[in-house]
Each structure stands twice: as structure tokens, then as C-alpha cells.
Amino acid sequence: MSRSSATRAVRFVFLAIAALAVSASARAAVFSPKSFTLENGLKVVVIENHRAPAVMQMVWYRVGAADEEPGESGLAHFLEHLMFKGTKTVKPGEFSRTIARIGGRENAFTSYDYTAYYQRVAAHELETVMRLEADRMQNLVLTDEVVLPERDVVLEERRSRTDNSPKAQLREQTQRALYLNHPYGRPVIGWMSEIKALTTDKAMAFYRKHYAPNNAMLLVAGDVTVDKVRALAEKYYGPIPRRAVPARVRPKEPPHRAARRVALESPRVRLPSWSRTYLAPSYATSENGEAYALEVLSQVLGGGTTSRLYRRLVVERGIAASAGAWYSGDGLDYGEFGVFAAPKAGGSIEEVEKAFLEELELAVREGFKPEDIERAKKLIAAQAIYARDGLRAGPNAIGQSFTQGQTVDDVESWPERISAVTADQVMAAARSVLARRQSVTGLLLPEAKE
């Protein structure tokens, strides 16, 4: 089973909730969730979906890599691994064996602002997974015998996914350069030297500090009713006592006054690539709908083969093999906006960079036609038109919004807010965010020949 870290660049969560294209004046329910809160502070959300006799349970904790103490990078992700290592009544590995025995699937993921655990099982097995998940919320037992070998597993994960991947190495270095002071500059998986220093005591202290019902949200989606979920949640999660949880106080970014540039050369790189990442507001921090405008900007500027950058650089000028843009607004404190391109085989990376920046400057200066903006908004919806038929899209969207301090209503109103974005708002967001001083340019290059 893979215990992989989730990156903040995952746009699926917010694209998934664009399940319906709606007019600016119409309010359309996306997932129609029902919610309640237990006496111990655990928030519970139920999304009924009776298309198949299956159910998904997810538990989201408002803690991630950005909540670690300096010098303990990777601890949140490490604890995610260790949550499968047994409790007072469940032996190490028994959790996963039980899920497999009943024909289910399970995994977990960690990001900067959250850690989440999920199981997908037949609807009649909901009580089984609730019992197991509630048990490890309060009864985790760790010893060096299980912790230290798992630490070796995480070290190998870092070697294989980051240290052996030039692309991942560049992303890590770019992230470090983008954030001058904020913990988003640390890798979720952690620095190698700091992973090696993680201990059983550190993991248990982190667990006791952050894993509490009043710091979590339980989401259940599938062939269930809210009454059934309420009864089971009160039975298994209700007795867990609430605990004091520290406020999420994090250092802020100082003013960014100078652009940065990172280049990585590797013999494993065959074709060069160019990228630029800008510091941007997130959904949680943006004002006047800027995050929604940035979502539309990423689509109209470089969201596919009909986007402006792809059309100009790949189709018309023929100097690039790829060109695009993306927006990641899922951070509690900050978001990111990125653009990228790669030359055709045998082409010049310098020529592509120069042409890309020319086209980007022209787009910001001239703006976009209203019909291009409308088409981009429809494409955003079309990318996830079937999302609400699945079990995971709703819990993902709502759980992630919860960890950002947003509400269920923010999720349900997402389509109409995207629909209401205007061309003027898109251009205002572009001029505000696409400032070179708040960017890091990344170059991935073949190793230079001496």
C-alpha cells in the first residue's frame, strides 16, 4: 500500500466540485451534504449517494507538514504511516488486513495543512471501519520495534520519489526558494537528515498534540442515511474526549522584492523544461473573489490545447512542445500560480523562455476576450462533470475546505462563484499575481558537457 504525500498543486479538489455549470443568478447544490457536530467537537458530514451499495469514510485532521516544529520536517507524514501500526486492541497491520478481508480499499495522505485517512467498503461494513478509525483516533500504541523500521520505509520513499527524480528535486528547490520564511518551503516528506532524527517519542507527542475529535472532520459518502451515520458516529467517536489543540500560528512571508532563479542539471534529463511559480492568494486568504478569478485565468491562459499560450507557442509559432498554466489555491496561508513550457526536441530553452515571456506580457497587457473567459469557465465545469457521481469527490472537497477554515457552503457555492467571474476580475488578478518579483523561475536541464 502506498502512503504518499499529497502536494498542494492538486487541482482535482476544486475542479471536482465544479460538477454543474450554473448561471451567475442560479444556486445549484453540488453534493447536498447534511452535517452535525458531536458533543466532543467532531464535525460530521454525510453525502448520500445511493447509486451503488458502497460507502467511503474519510477523517480529515487539521494538521500537516506546516504545523511541524523547526527541525522536525516530515513528522506529520511519518505519523500518517505510523497510524497503521496498531492500538491497544488492534495489532500492527491488523487494520489493513481487516479492510482487505472485507473487500475494501484504504489509504491516507498528508499535505501542508491536513492529514486524511479513508476507507471504501461495502455499505454494510460501515460500522467496521468506523470502529477501527475511531479506535486509532485515541488509542495509538507505538514502540521502537514498529517505528524504526517504518522510518526506514519513509527514507526509501524519499530516495525513490525525490532524490532519484530530477523533476521532484527541482520542485523541492523551487519551493524552498519561493517561500522565504513560511514552512511551505519545507518538503512534506521532510529533509533526509531530519527524517533520520524522527523518533517514537516525537511521533507520539505530535499525535497527542493534534489528533483530537475537535480537530477533525468525519465525512461519510455513499449508500447511507444521515440517521445511520449519526447513530454510529455517536457510538464510536462520541466517547472520545475533546482535548486542547494549539492554535495554528505560522510565520508570514515578508515582502518579496527580488525574483529568484533555480537551475538543476542532471544526466537523467534528456529534454530541458522551463517553469515559473508565483506566490498567490489561496481560497482561504483571497479577497473579492480573486482565487476564483485565478482559477479561470489558469484555464484561459494555459489550461489546455485551446488555451492562449498553447495556441501561440505550440500551434502557431511551433517552437514549444508544451506550454501551460496552473493554479493551486488549496493552502491555508498561501496559494501558487505557475506557468511552464518545454522546447521541441533540438530546440532552444532560451528561445522558448524569451517567447513565453513575450506572450505572457502581451496577454496581461491586452487581456482576453469575454467569449474566451466564458469558454474557460465552461471547460472548468466540463473537466469534472461526472465528479459528483463518485464517492470521493465530495469528501475531498469538503474535507480540504474544512482544513482551510472554510465551510460546506463555500463548497456548495463554488460553481456559481466561478460562473460569476468577469473578464475584468481575471485581468485584475493577472496583473496582481504575475509580478516577477514574487516568482521563482525553474530550469531543468541536461547535464552540461565539459
The C-alpha atoms of residue 434 and residue 276 are separated, in whole angstroms, by 10
**Across-strand partners of 322?**
342
| Nearest CA among 232, 223, 228 for reference residue 134 | 232
Q: Of the residues 68, 72, 80, 416, which is catalytic?
A: 80
**HSE (side-chain half, CA atoms, 13 Å) at 82:** 31
Q: Per-residue b/e over 356-367, b at no fewer than 16 CB within 10 Å?
A: bbebbeebeeeb
403: β partners:
none
Q: At what angle do helices 126-138 and 94-101 cross, to 10 degrees?
A: 170
Rounded distance between C-alpha atoms, residue 405 and residue 415, angstroms: 19
Distance CA 113, CA 362 (A): 36
Of 137, 141, 140, 139, the closest CA to residue 41 belongs to 137
From residue 199, how far is each of 77, 147, 314 by CA, in Å?
13, 7, 50
Please state the length of the chain.
450
- The angle, 0 to 180 degrees and rounded to 10, between the axes of the packed helices 144-158 and 75-82 is 120
Strand partners, 44: 36, 218
Per the annotation, the verdict on 450 as an active-site residue is no
Q: Report yes or no: 314 and 323 within 8 Å, Cβ to Cβ.
A: yes
What is the largest distance, in Å, between two alpha-carbon atoms of the chain? 70
Q: Which residues are catalytic?
A: 80
